[in-house]
Amino acid sequence: MTVTLADVAARAQVSPATVSRVLNGNYPVAAATRERVLRAVDDLDYVLNGPASALAAATSDLVGILVNDIADPFFGIIAGAVQSEIGGPGGRAGGERLAVVCNTGGSPERELTYLTLLQRQRAAAVILTGGAIEDAEHAAAMAGKLRRLAEAGTRVVLCGRPPSPETDAVALTFDNRGGGRRLTAHLLDLGHRRVGYIAGPRERSTTRHRLEGHRAALAAHGVEDDPALTVHGPYDRRSGYDATVELLRRAPELTAVVAANDTVALGACAALRDKGLRIPDDVSVAGFDDLPFSVDAVPALTTVRLPLYEAGARAGRIAMGKEEPPPGGVATVHGELMVRGSTAGPR
């Protein structure tokens, strides 16, 4: 049947313990012996039994990554970056670690469920990406889960998410508030006064922070914050389209639209064009994140660039213990305003 460590040991004429040592490489073994073992492994086409190994060692080579939606490049880029860092030396049996990507779809229940599942797998680390769901009860439940994971030896890192109180999870947070403020300030500096805002879903830290930044800019410029100019919706193209139609209905005189992210902004652009409005001549449009397609939009999208790849890679390294966590366990990652063709002075 299936080849086991004992089979390899027999063929190499050593004890199972020695084979284990060779495979894990965390222990001195004579070169000649190692050679013999490796040849036996090769001859028998032996593949280590992960579950057995994890059981005995009380830790696995799995790293969990929680994302809202893996089809969204925002998360895909982060997930890819994390994965590029979790391999390499340090893990069991060659240091190869596998990424378990969990699509929560933004659901609080699934978020908790996946954490339990990862705890069940005795994951070596867990990385939570994207904004947090802002609900006291859920936050408490999450903090509890994260604490228990940490106690069990799982390293926890938050990437693009605010710190979780009562937890010593390392947090790499994005400066969504500052980015939102600079983006709207840019429009106000251009002379816009009626600026529509398409916010993300409610009860999400990302949504709130970006919106707060927007409002801070309005306040700083002495522009009234008309509630009718803000519409909430999911982070997708459709939401951008629909929200823009609604904003135009409520305030046909608006001269600029700020979207919760680039995908939403693309939907907004489509709606404006369908209404016969030119960008930026009639209405300026701005997004957030600077996803790869944003520079190719026509006109190219003004947005706030978030270093998603770098942040994901850093989160991965911290999760692997390859990099020191930032002092205090919290680091803020700043965005960069990218002014492009989609914004100009009002007509």
Pure H helices in 221-261: 237-250
Counting contacts by CB under 7 A, is residue 151 touching DNA? no
- CA 38, CA 43: separation in Å to the nearest integer? 9
Tell which one of 35, 52, 116, 228 touches DNA (CB under 7 A): 52
What's the min distance (Å) between Cβ of 271 and its own copies? 11
Contact set for DNA, span 70-109 (CB under 7 A): 92-93
- CA 340, CA 294: separation in Å to the nearest integer? 10
Counting contacts by CB under 7 A, is residue 13 touching DNA? yes
The helix (run of H) or strand (run of E) holding residue 331 is strand 330-333
- CA 126, CA 102: separation in Å to the nearest integer? 10
- CA 125, CA 319: separation in Å to the nearest integer? 6
Tell which one of 33, 103, 119, 332 touches DNA (CB under 7 A): 33
Contact set for DNA, span 305-334 (CB under 7 A): none
Tell which one of 12, 139, 171, 297 touches its own copies (CB under 8 A): 297
Contact set for its own copies, span 101-140 (CB under 8 A): 101-103, 113-114, 116-122
- CA 125, CA 82: separation in Å to the nearest integer? 11
Considering CB distances under 5 to 8 angstroms, the limit depending on partner class, which of its own copies, DNA, none binds residue 32?
Answer: DNA
Tell which one of 16, 25, 80, 201 touches its own copies (CB under 8 A): 80
State the amino acid at position 148 in one-letter form: R
Counting contacts by CB under 7 A, is residue 53 touching DNA? yes
Tell me which residue of 328, 37, 345 sits closest to 172, measured CA to CA: 328
Tell which one of 10, 38, 44, 57 touches DNA (CB under 7 A): 57
State the amino acid at position 149 in one-letter form: L
Tell me which residue of 166, 163, 128 sits closest to 147, measured CA to CA: 166
Contact present, 177 and 243 (Cβ < 8 Å): no
**Residue 317 CB contacts under 8 Å (≥ 6 apart), including other chains:** 85, 323
Counting contacts by CB under 8 A, is residue 215 touching its own copies? no
Considering CB distances under 5 to 8 angstroms, the limit depending on partner class, which of its own copies, DNA, none binds residue 44?
Answer: none
- CA 20, CA 42: separation in Å to the nearest integer? 15
Counting contacts by CB under 8 A, is residue 77 touching its own copies? yes
User: Counting beta carbons within 10 angstroms of the beta carbon of residue 65, is it exposed (0 to 12), middle (13 to 18) or buried (19 or more)?
Assistant: buried
Q: Pick the stretch among 12-20, 76-84, 155-163, 215-223 that binds its own copies (CB under 8 A).
A: 76-84
First to last CA, the chain: 77
- CA 90, CA 96: separation in Å to the nearest integer? 9
Which residues sit opposite 155 in a β-bridge?
125
Tokens of 327: 């002092």
Contact set for DNA, span 187-246 (CB under 7 A): none
Tell which one of 49, 103, 119, 332 touches DNA (CB under 7 A): 49
- CA 31, CA 115: separation in Å to the nearest integer? 42
Counting contacts by CB under 7 A, is residue 23 touching DNA? yes
Contact set for its own copies, span 264-283 (CB under 8 A): 266-267, 269-270, 273
Choose between 28 and 328: whose C-beta lies nearer to DNA. 28
Considering CB distances under 5 to 8 angstroms, the limit depending on partner class, which of its own copies, DNA, none binds residue 38?
Answer: none
Counting contacts by CB under 7 A, is residue 62 touching DNA? no
Question: Contact positions toward its own copies, by CB under 8 A?
Answer: 2, 45, 47-55, 60-62, 69-73, 75-77, 79-80, 83-84, 93, 96, 98-103, 113-114, 116-122, 148, 152, 237, 263, 266-267, 269-270, 273, 292-293, 295-298
Question: Contact positions toward DNA, by CB under 7 A?
Answer: 1-2, 4-6, 13-21, 23-24, 26-30, 32-34, 48-49, 52-53, 55-58, 92-93
